[in-house]
Copies of this chain bind each other. A is one copy, B any other.
Amino acid sequence: MGVGWGTDEKAIIWVLGHRNASQRRLISETYQQLYDQPLVDSLHSELSGDFGKAVIFWTYDPPVRDAILANEALQTKRKGINHLLPIVEIACATSPHHLIAVRQAYCSLYNCSLEEDILSTISSPFRKTLVGLVSPYRYDKEVVNMDVANSEAALLHEAIERKQLDQDSVLWVLGTRNIFQLRATFQCYEQNYGSPVDEDIKSCGKGDLESLLGVIVRCLDCPERHFAEVVRNSIIGLGTDEDSLTRAIITRAEIDLMKVRGEYNNMYNSSLDSAVIGDTSGDYKDFLLTLLGAKV
C-alpha cells in the first residue's frame, strides 16, 4: 500500500480479503507498530467510495465494526424500519458473546451504552423492542424444553390473535430464550397453528411494529434467509443499495456466508455471485467476490 505513491488496491483485496478476524487484528496491530498510525486511518485516507467503506469495515475488529453499524443506524433519521436492521441483526443473528463485545465496544467508542442511545434516539414502540433485544445475555447452548416451546408458541399465538404484539411477555420470549429453544418454539407454532409465526405476525397488520417483529423472528429462526433477502433487496429495482449489500457480505463472511449463498439460490433460483457481478464493478466487485470465495 503506497504512502503517497498511489495505492495498490489489488494487494489490499488479496491480503485483507483472505484473512480471518484474528489475522486481520494481527495485521492491524503490526501496521500500527510499524507506521505509528492505525491501519483503518491509512485506509480512510487512501481509499474512497464503496470499496473503501467495505475494506474499512472488514478491517475493523468485528465488535467495533458492529458498534459503528449500530451507531450509524441510530443516527439515521428515516421512517420505516429498514435503517434499524443492523441492530436487529446484531441482537438476533450473532452469538451472545459477540453481542456483549459489541456493547462493550459501543461504550468505548461513544461514551454511553448502546441501550442509552437506543432509548434517546428511537421512538416508541421500537425503542422498547430494541432495548429488550440487545440487553439480555442469552444462554448459548442447545437446551430445548418442549413444554416451554408449546406454552410459548401459545403465548405468541394469543398475542397475535389479540393484536398485542407490544406486550412485555412477547419481548421476553424473543429477547431472552436461547436460539435453539426459540427455533423449537417457532416449529411448535407452525405445527399447532398451521402457519409460520412471522407470516402470522405480518398478517396482524401492516404497521412498522409488525414488520420489525417479522424481521426479528426471521433473524432468530433462519439468519441465512434474512441475509439472502437483504442482498436481494439491495440489488433489485433501480440502482443498488451498496451499504446493505456490503453489510450483509462483510458481517456474515465469517459466520454463514456460504449458507446465505445457498439460501439465495433456493429462494431466487439464481446465484448470489452473479447478482454481485451484475450490480457492482471494479475493486468493490472484486473485494466482495473475494469474500464470497470466488477466484478474482
Query: Which residue of chain B lies nearest to A140 when distances are taken between CB atoms in the complex?
Result: B107
Q: Are B137 and A112 in contact (CB under 8 A)?
A: no
Q: Which residues of B contact A116 (CB under 8 A)?
A: 139, 176-177
Q: Are A139 and B111 in contact (CB under 8 A)?
A: yes
Number of A residues near B (Cβ < 8 Å) is 27
Q: Are A136 and B135 in contact (CB under 8 A)?
A: yes
Q: Are B112 and A168 in contact (CB under 8 A)?
A: no
Query: Which residue of chain B lies nearest to A138 when distances are taken between CB atoms in the complex?
Result: B113
Q: Are A107 and B137 in contact (CB under 8 A)?
A: yes
Q: Are B137 and A103 in contact (CB under 8 A)?
A: yes
Q: Which residues of B contact A115 (CB under 8 A)?
A: 136-137, 172, 175-176
Which of A111, A141, A176 has the most B CB atoms < 10 Å from its CB? A176
Provide the bound-state CA to CA distance between A137 and B99, in Å. Answer: 11
CB within 8 A of A128: which of B112, B113, B168? B168
Q: Are B139 and A107 in contact (CB under 8 A)?
A: yes
Q: Are A178 and B112 in contact (CB under 8 A)?
A: yes
Q: Are B143 and A111 in contact (CB under 8 A)?
A: yes
Q: Is A42 an interface residue (CB 8 A)?
A: no
Q: How far is the CB of A87 from chain B (nearest CB, A)?
A: 15
Q: Which residues of B contact A140 (CB under 8 A)?
A: 107
